[in-house]
Chains A and B, each alone.
Chain A
Amino acid sequence: MSFARAGFRTLVARTSIILAQRRALSAEARKLIDSAVQENPLVVFMKGTPETPQCGFSRAVCQILDVQGVPREKLKTFNCLEDQELREGIKEYSEWPTIPQVYIKGEFVGGCDIVLSMHQSGELEKLLVKEGLVPELPPLPEGEK
């Protein structure tokens, strides 16, 4: 494709076509991901399913959410291995190069490492309680750790 002697408007048009082709994420796919993360309070883009995870990191995320007490029906997962376009598209959508990816209330929370450290620090529990994904536990009686 020759850019020589092309007028400014042609240049802009051609560049945006090239960029759009290189982008793994079509506008349509972006809208689908948008609606998925907005409509569901907890979304995990993973490899495999929570019952049969296909990757150690995805499995770890599902286990952590299970340990935190998230009911199965509140957990919306997408199997990125089944859909190549989703697998590449979600990486561009989140600007995050790896899967799994966890979204809570439409906001990207992190991958396996971040979710694990949030779980260990207690931050994840707070966030899940705040967004109504797990019931709040009654406080422990005095004298217990």
Chain B
Amino acid sequence: MQGLLASTRARTVLALPPLFRRAMSSPTPQALAEASSSRARSPVRVPGPVETTMQSKLIEAFQPSLIRISNDSSKHSHHAPMRAIGGGSGETHFAVALVSSAFSGKTQIARHRMVNSLLKEEFDAGLHALSLRLRTPQEWEKEVDAAVAEGKGQ
């Protein structure tokens, strides 16, 4: 593979330092993990009102070091309960990952209840499902390391 690259783009490839050459052939799990955690993912859709208020509430309450909100509503719009209500508003299902030291010393259930009570209005107004990944910074580090060690991205 390297030989092929060298022959088609000979001088340019050989001139690059080894690090870049390795990255060009296939990203290492390390690179994947770093890239996905540090690079801001540009959303395909502009965040709707529910997502925006959720984000500001969560940031204000937990001062997180990492927050990732993903709108999964389209993945569930074909399910029976959603079809029964005409598909929903497009802001019905979210997955939230939150890393904050506010969670230390609390069981998963206590952390979930903290987030649930914060978002009570959203639930009353039509938020249907919330998938939560709530970790302290130490737990998150451990998970990232474990994932990298297993060869997957985070």
**Can you list, as one digit per residue, whether each of A86-118 has a CB less than 8 Å from chain B (1) or not (0)?**
000000000111100000000011111110011
Minimal Cβ-Cβ distance residue in B for A114: B108
Name the segment of A2-10, A12-20, A52-60, A137-145 touching the other chain: A52-60
CB contact between B113 and one of A55, A95, A118 (< 8 Å): that residue: A95
CB contact between B108 and one of A54, A57, A97, A110 (< 8 Å): that residue: A110
* A97 to B112 alpha-carbon distance, docked (Å): 10
Indicate the size class of the contact surface on chain B: 10 to 19
B81 and A110: CB pair below 8 A? no
CB contact between B123 and one of A47, A97, A108 (< 8 Å): that residue: A97
What number of A residues sit within 8 Å (CB to CB) of B?
20
Q: Contacts A57-B129, A97-B120, A97-B123; is A114 near B79 (CB within 8 Å)? A: no
Chain B interface (Cβ < 8 Å from any Cβ of A): 76, 79-81, 108-109, 112-113, 116, 120, 123, 127-133
Contacts of B112 in A (CB 8 A): 110-111, 113-114
What are the 5 A-B residue pairs with the smallest beta carbon separation, nearest first? A97-B123, A54-B80, A114-B108, A113-B132, A110-B109
**Can you offer 14 A-B residue contacts whose CB atoms are under 8 A?**
A47-B81, A48-B80, A54-B80, A55-B79, A55-B80, A55-B81, A57-B129, A96-B116, A98-B128, A111-B112, A113-B131, A113-B132, A114-B109, A118-B108
Contacts of B80 in A (CB 8 A): 47-48, 54-55, 81
Contacts of B129 in A (CB 8 A): 57, 98
* A112 to B76 alpha-carbon distance, docked (Å): 15
